[in-house]
Amino acid sequence: MVPFMEREVSAKIRLYVEHPLGEAQTLPLSREQAHYLFGVMRLGAGAQVLVFDGQNGEWLAEVTQAGKRGGELCVLHQTKAQQMPPDLWLLFSPIKKARTDFIVEKATELGAARILPVQTAFTNAGRIQRDRLQAHAVEAAEQCGGTFVPEVAELQKLGSVLDHWDSARRIMFCDEGAAAAARVLPDLPGPWAVLIGPEGGFSPQERDRLQSLAHAHVVSLGPRILRADTAAVAALTLWQQAMGDWG
């Protein structure tokens, strides 16, 4: 195989596509993508955009057909190799809509590999709009230059997630009740998940269960109680700094 070389490109618009990418591949555009490229961004035939499919890196593509309801791109050459995030999941309890959107967006930017909304004893939201949250993850990946889009899972009960948990995956249990200085993140390799509770915190039963798990590590995010969205960003940042792909 010819070694891949990253190239300078001037195209700025990045689009996630669900077709496997490769040289000379033709990509049909959905109505929404056509509206965005030709209606909102005012591109026309011959314009260049960057595309990624979450598996095969980023590619430069040219608009070959531009219509109101659809269009077509032709893939030219690869511009970036695929970069997978570390094996880090985010488990969080959904909160208000805009703040939940924020958590999904920031988790994608910060390099979470999978996002699992979980229902805890004190979770207010009884359901989520998974497709909407997934679309936020796609938009965040398009905007941040990433080549990977984390899957947003359906809402599941925390208890049932823990019942089926693979103990090889450690849990960074962010507990506002943990003594600030005593509970630090251990630097241990392997798969991890960050767990953030709802506005009401964890119930005593949930706390007891999590504390009893050998693969769960209680971690403090400092002496102040953070909002759940702030806590998610802080915890992912801490984990990435200690064990992630930041350098």
Residues lying near ligand SAM in the complex (CB under 6 A): 174-176, 178, 196-197, 199-202, 220-222, 224-228, 231
Between 46 and 223, whose beta carbon lies closer to ligand SAM?
A: 223
Q: Which residues pair with residue 157 across a beta bridge?
A: 119
52 vs 92 by CB, closer to ligand SAM: 92
Q: How far is the CB of 232 from ligand SAM (least distance, A)?
A: 8
**Minimum Å distance from CB 183 to ligand SAM?**
8
Q: Which is nearer to ligand SAM, 75 or 158 (CB)?
A: 158
- Distance between alpha carbon 225 and the CA centroid of its chain, in Å? 24
How far apart are the C-alpha atoms of 216 and 231, rounded to whole Å?
17
Dihedral over Cα of 72, 134, 229, 174: its sign: negative
Q: From 236, 228, 114, 115, select the one nearest 185 (Cα to Cα).
A: 236
CB of 126 to ligand SAM, least distance (A): 18
Six token digits for residue 107? 């988790």
Complex with ligand SAM: residue 12 or 224, whichever CB lies closer: 224
Task: In angstroms, give the least distance from the CB of 114 to ligand SAM.
Answer: 18
Using CB atoms within 10 A of its CB, is residue 62 exposed (0-12), middle (13-18) or buried (19+)?
middle
